[in-house]
Each structure stands twice: as C-alpha cells, then as structure tokens.
Structure 1
Amino acid sequence: MSLFWRVFGLNAVVLGLATALLLWAPVTVSVPILLTEAVVLLVGMGVMLVANGALLRWGLAPLARVTALMTTVDLLRPGQRLPVSGGGEVPELIRTFNAMLERLESERAVSSARVLLAQEAERRRIAQELHDEVGQSMTAVLLVLGRAADDADGPLREELHQAQEITRGSLDEVRRLVRRLRPGVLDDLGLVSALSSLTQDFATHTGLRVVRRFDADLPALDHEGELALYRVAQESLTNAARHAGAERLEVALQCADGAVTLTVTDDGRGIEEVHEGAGIRGMRERALLIGARLDITSTVGSGTRVRLTAPLPRKQS
C-alpha cells in the first residue's frame, strides 16, 4: 500500500468511527447547545485528534528515521545504514537511500584517493626542489662564507662565522622540512624506522618527551598503509604540540587480531568535544583510503588519544 493510501486509510478509519458514534450513539445537539453536549463534542474531538496523531506517527515513523540519518551522516564514517522492513513506498525509500549512501561512500573513497595521491606527488616535488635548489644554494653559501672567514681579519671573521651558523641552521631547517614532506626513510627502512626518526626529530625540536612502544616483528604493510600510518602519526604529534599543552607523548605500534594499530597519546589538557578541523578530516580520509578505523578520544585534564587500526593486506594466492 502506498504512503498516500495508508495516510488516507488512517484518516478514514478515524472519521468513520466518529461518524458512527454520531449516528448510533444517543448523542444530540441542541440549539443553543447545552454544557453537557459541548463537553461530549469536545471530548470526542480530542479523542479523534489523539487517535489520528498516533496512527500518523506510527505510519510515518520510518520517514523520521531517514530524516535523522540524513542530518548526521558523514561519508568519512562509512557503514551508516537504516534497517528495511515492511512494504510500500517507505521501505523502498529507505532502500534507495541506503544505496545512495553506498554509492556516495564509494565515490568519496575514490576521489579521496586521487586527492591524497596528488598531494603526495606535490609534496615529493616540493621536497625535491628544496633539496636540489635551496639546499645546494645554501651549501654553496656556506662554502663561500667559510673561505671568506679564513681570509678575513678578527672582527669581520667573527661576523662571517655568525653568518655561517645562521646559514647552517637554515640549511638544517630546510632538510627537516624535506624529511617531513618526503619521508625517504619510510621507503628505504620501513615504518618502524620512519616513526622512530619522526618522533626523535619531534622531541628534539619541541622539547617534549616522547615514549615509543613498538612491537617486535611487525608484519609488513603495503606502501599506502605505511604512508597512512606515518601521516596520521605526524599529524597527531603536530596537533599535540600546537594545542594539547602536553609534556609527555606516547607513540605505540602494535599488531593484534589481523590488524596493525597506531596509538598516539598525550597527557595534555584534553577537551570535552573533539572539533574536527582540516587536520583530523585529513586523517579520516587517509583511514578511509586503506579501510582503517580512526578513533579520537579526549577527556578534560586527561589528554587525548588518537588510534588508527589498519587491517593487514590480504595475501595474494
């Protein structure tokens, strides 16, 4: 039965019952109307409205569920579906809505993969230019300053040495940016070595204490999985340094139940509700790309925990 006929039938039942009561019940209306007759009519109208409202609420309840899901659905949290039951137009609407969600999630995953691949390619290009152009130019400046300092007198030599130190510091910063943009150690030595280098570099530049807990003999992941874990760890450390007010962080990498789990925990101020900006949305997109699950929990005064659980790649037969 279509939604139109269901609503029409419900109203017809209510109005039919009201008409039957007027026809066969010992109820009359005087002119002018008596108080008892007015009470009977008002009570009857109230009963009719309540019954009609209850029947319509029951008949249109599936639409309310669809509306509620529409207002809360997030394509970065896939798997949200409504149960389909009954017959008629409403279940068909729910099935269509679920199919639309599945299609949108698939398209979002494909588009996110393209964006992230393009982003990584651009990072590699910028890192290469920084290394080849800026890095080599600053190295040449260091050599020139060194030769000039060797031939200069005392006061000028000190100034040239200071310029050398400033240039050397800038060169180190450029190299650090290159490593952040393109983690070459990830390609050469693997995820554990890359995370160790990342946390050591982070602790050196921020002064925060970083504790590493990595399981031994972790299974190998594909390149996309390792890159997603690395970038999520990188973003989590950056957020902790900028916003958490933490003194100690713990980075753990563990394998259990057919998945590798990365956990970044800080002892900062924490927050009541996690506001998902561009950084967290980017982490969710990376999790979506490799079919992983990202959980972020935070408590006021107890810090924040970021956990990414990535499934192990299937073995090719």
Structure 2
Amino acid sequence: MGASNFDQATISGKNAAFQQAVDALRKRFRFDFVSMGITAFPGAPLTWLYSAGETSNRHRRISLAPGHGIGGIVLKTGKPMLFTDIDSEMDPREYSSYPIVFAEDLRSFCALPLKRADHVVAVLLCAFRIVDPSHAKTFRALIADELRGVFCGLEVVSEGFMGLGETGDRSETTLVDISGDTSFAGVRDTDETGAPKLLRGDLARAIGAQEEERRRISRELHDGVAQELLTVTFTLQRLTDHVDAEGADILEEARGGINGVLDELHNISVMLRPSSLDHLGFVPALRSQALLLEKTYGSAIRFEGQLSLPRFDRALETQAYRMCQEAMTNACKYSGSDVVTVSVETAGNWLHISIVDEGCGFDVAHPAIKGTGCGLLGMQERANQVGATLSVESNEHGTRVTLVTPMRSSEEGDTR
C-alpha cells in the first residue's frame, strides 16, 4: 500500500479524531451539515464516513466513484467547489447527479480536497440547508481563519474553485416528450387521449431494439474492455519485483486507478444488462441492481416475499426487470425516502410486484420529465407487451408502483 493511501489501520486509528474534528467544525461555524469522505486508495470510491448534523444515515451508504457526485468530482479533479445558492446555480433536474445534495437537502456548500503526499485522499464538505448572503463570508472564514491549510493533519486545497459547469460530469440527460401528453392516465388509455397508435408501435420497436443494444454493449464491456484492463493489471504485477519503493508506490496507484475503472465498467454493465438476469434470473438481477442503487444514492432497498419459480418466461423477466429498475431508480433519485421496499410474490400463475417509498410523492396525472430511462410511458408500454397491469399511486406520504402479470415457467416460455 502506497504512502498516499488511507489503509484500514490508519482509518481505525483516526476514527475518533476525525469525528471530533467534524463535530467541532460544525459547532464552531454553525453549519447545518459537515461530513468528511475518504478513499482507501487512489482510484477507489469515496465514502462519507464522518458526519455531523445529518438527517439520516442515507448519505453513509453512498459510494462515489472518482468523477461522480460532489465528493467524486473533488476527488478526481483535486479542486475545491463552492456554491452559495444551489437553486440558482444548478439546474434542479441535475440534483440527482449529486446524491449528497439530495440526501441531505443542501442549498449552500463548500467542498475541499484534502491531500497527503500530493494525492487527494479525502474530501471535507461543509454545508447549509438554507440560502443566506452571509454564507460566503462564513466559508471564507472557514478557509482562511480556521483551517489555514490543514485539517486533521491533511493539506487543504483552497485555490482554483470550480463550478459544476466546469466538471464535465453530465450523467443526466433531459428526456424529450415525444407524445405531447405525459400524463399517466393518458398512457393507460390511448384511445381517450387520442394518442396516435403509431407512437405505441414505434415505442415497442424502440424498446426491443434498445434491449438488444444494451445486451451487446454490456457483453462487449465485460468480455472486451474489462478483460483488456485485467491483462494490464497482470503486466503491472510483474513489474513489482523490478522497481524501488517509489516505483512500487506508483504501480500501486496505477493498479488502484485501473480497479476504479473496472468497478465503473461493472456498474455500467449492470445498468445496461446485468449478466445475472440472463444466467440467474429476475430476483438475483434485481438484488444486484439494488446494491448498485444503494451505493449510488444512499437509499436502503429492502426485499420482501419470494417467487415460487426460480425462472420464468424470458421476455417477461426482461420487461418486469426493466419496469422495476425504473421504479427503484426513480424512488432512490427523486423521492427523498431513506428506505425503498420491493415486494415480490407469486399467487397461482400470477406475478405480483410492488415498489414502495415514503418520500415526497409526485403528481401522477402530470409527472415532471426527469433524468433518463423509459419513464412512465415506457413502463406502461413494457407492461402492454407482456399483458401486465401497471398502476402508480402517489401522494405526499409516498409512492407505490404495482405490477401484476400472468407468468409462465421458462420451460413454457420463449427462452431466446
């Protein structure tokens, strides 16, 4: 392990000191929220380990790859960030790209890289949940008077502040309304709304083509790019006995960076088309997706019930998985709920699935267009393709998405 790394022994020995420093900082400046995120080695994800003023433990479950989220961006670029009014400086549709903002309802923050031996090994985040002109002065005092270039023995980077527009991190894309009517009621009964029948046919073909393309790209990432990177790590390993101590540190850093890329490729592959869906079935694939969402957005996802059949019709597995993936992702990204419950059960030849959160809810009749994915329109079209009934109920107490569909075993269905 290189000298720039936070190994487990270091973390254990510093636990109390780090937490006390975070607590003192919040008390001294009356911040609403202060957190210190650390990374075990270069290229590894950043986790918010030490916090004060948190509203829940949701943020502690977030694991940010370098370049993703506020912590990941600061970690990768080595530059600090300062926002005194998020609502005016950031597009609200992009809040979900920065899960700590969403998880803790932050409105004003300063994020500072913390270095050791010229490597960013941690990030300090100090924030308020309201907007006030005095916050800019508070952040300046924090940097100039309190920290003075050092926090917990680590070098504080306080020059070259950047805005979100400079990060190049744009994982969210605005969805274009192609129907002219995004109401869920309209999707459920296209005849009454007058939506063109051509639209549904086009959407069905687009969904089918998208699924095949997802499978192809996922397979290429796993069998091609990932395998090539593994070969590079083996080559680096062979150099270990031929370099000095400084060279060993550089090799360790390189391996850490490659491992970080491999983790990111795995996450992308799971989002595109998890191999577990093809090889193990619906529930294992859904659990794999849930683990990824927990690390990304911090909401805990709990599973209830079980299936009477380990596998069922391949087309139904795919469409049910995509609908659940969309519902779980939306709940984690937009609801603000700390817990999302997924219930899966079979009754006779019927499959019953529900995804429930206790978040802010939304207007089902006129849902806002957010993020990527198939949305309500695509979910309903997937349900139509497998003869399922999809319903969405939402109010200020939370949202419930329910899917009820006839099912067949994999031996009876199409296994292509």
In the superposition, the TM-score normalised over structure 2's length comes to 0.48
Tell me how far apart the structure 2 counterparts of residues 219 and 287 of structure 1 sit (CA, whole Å).
Answer: 21
Alignment equivalent of 2:402, drawn from 307, 314, 317: 307
Deviations 1:205-232 (A, max 9, x none): 4332111013341485311111111011
Please list every run of 5 or more consecutive structure 1 residues that lacks an aligned counterpart in the other structure: 1-69, 82-96
Shift of 1:257: 6.8
2:386 aligned partner? 290
- 2:275 is aligned with 1:164: no
| Equivalent residues, number | 225
Q: Does 1:116 align with 2:207?
A: yes
Tell me what 1:189 maps to: 280
Contact 1:264 1:306 in 2 (8 A): yes
| Structure 2: distance between partners of 1:307 and 1:73 | 14
1:77 aligns with 2:169: no
Match of 1:126 among 212, 217, 220: 217
Q: Do the aligned residues in 1 keep the contact of 2:308 with 2:346 (CA within 8 Å)?
A: no
Q: Do the aligned residues in 2 keep the contact of 1:253 with 1:263 (CA within 8 Å)?
A: yes
Deviations 1:119-150 (A, max 9, x none): 11111121122123321221122122222333
Aligned partner of 1:275 among 367, 383, 386: 367
Counterpart of 2:44 in structure 1 is none
3-state secondary structure, aligned to 1:215: coil
Q: Which one-letter code corresponds to 1:312 in the other structure?
A: M
- Partner Cα distance (1:208, 1:245) in 2: 8
Equivalent positions of 1:228-267 (< 5 A) are 228-256=319-347, 258-267=349-358
1:307 is paired with a residue whose SS is strand
Whether the 8 Å CA contact 1:253–1:260 is kept in 2: the answer is yes
User: Whole-Å Cα distance in 1 between the matches of residues 253 and 184 of structure 2?
Assistant: 57
Q: CA deviation at 1:161?
A: 0.5
**Alpha-carbon spacing, 1:280–1:75, altered in 2? closer, same or farther (3 Å):** closer
**In structure 2, the residue corresponding to 1:149 is in which secondary structure?**
helix
Query: How far does the alpha carbon of each residue in 1:172-213 deviate from its partner, in whole angstroms, 9 at most, with x for none?
Result: 220221122122212222212222222233324433211101
**Residues 111 and 268 from structure 1, CA distance in 2 versus in 1: closer, same or farther, beyond 3 angstroms?**
same
Instruction: Show the counterpart of 2:68.
Output: none
- 8 Å CA contact retained: 1:215, 1:255: yes
Deviation of 1:264 after TM superposition, in Å, equals 0.9
What is the identity, as a one-letter code, of the residue corresponding to 1:275? P
Deviations 1:92-126 (A, max 9, x none): xxxxx9xx98xx65x55543332221111111121
Counterpart of 2:351 in 1: which secondary structure? strand
The answer on whether the counterparts of 2:184 and 2:377 sit within 8 Å (CA) in structure 1 is no
Aligned AA (1:201): L
Deviates more, 1:266-275 or 1:154-163: 266-275
Q: Computing the radius of gyration over CA atoms, which structure comes out larger, 1 or 2?
A: 1
CA–CA distance in 2 between the matches of 1:73 and 1:262? 19
Report the TM-score, using the length of structure 1 for normalisation: 0.62
CA 223–76 in structure 1, closer or farther in 2 if over 3 Å, else same:
farther
- Hey, what's the Cα distance between the residues in 2 that align with 1:170 and 1:208? 24
Q: How far apart in 2 are the matches of 1:77 and 1:117?
A: 20
1:7 is aligned to none
**Aligned equivalent of 1:145:** 236
CA distance in 2, matches of 1:141, 1:220: 37
Q: How far apart, in 1, do the equivalents of 2:259 and 2:277 lie?
A: 25
Structure 2 unaligned regions, length at least 5: 1-180
- RMSD of aligned residue pairs (Cα, Å): 3.1
Q: 1:154 aligns with which of 234, 242, 245?
A: 245
Pairwise CA distance, 1:168: 0.6
Query: For 1:76, what is the secondary structure of its paired residue?
Result: helix
Distance 1:249 1:114, change over 3 A: same
User: Displacement, 1:293?
Assistant: 1.9
1: CA distance, partners of 2:307 / 2:358: 25
CA distance in 2, matches of 1:220, 1:184: 14
Q: Which segment is superposed worse, 304-313 or 117-126?
A: 304-313
Distance 1:151 1:111 in 2: 59
Mapped to 1, the partners of 2:291 and 2:259 lie a distance apart of: 20
Question: If each structure's helix is expressed as a fraction of its own residues, which one has the higher value?
Answer: 1
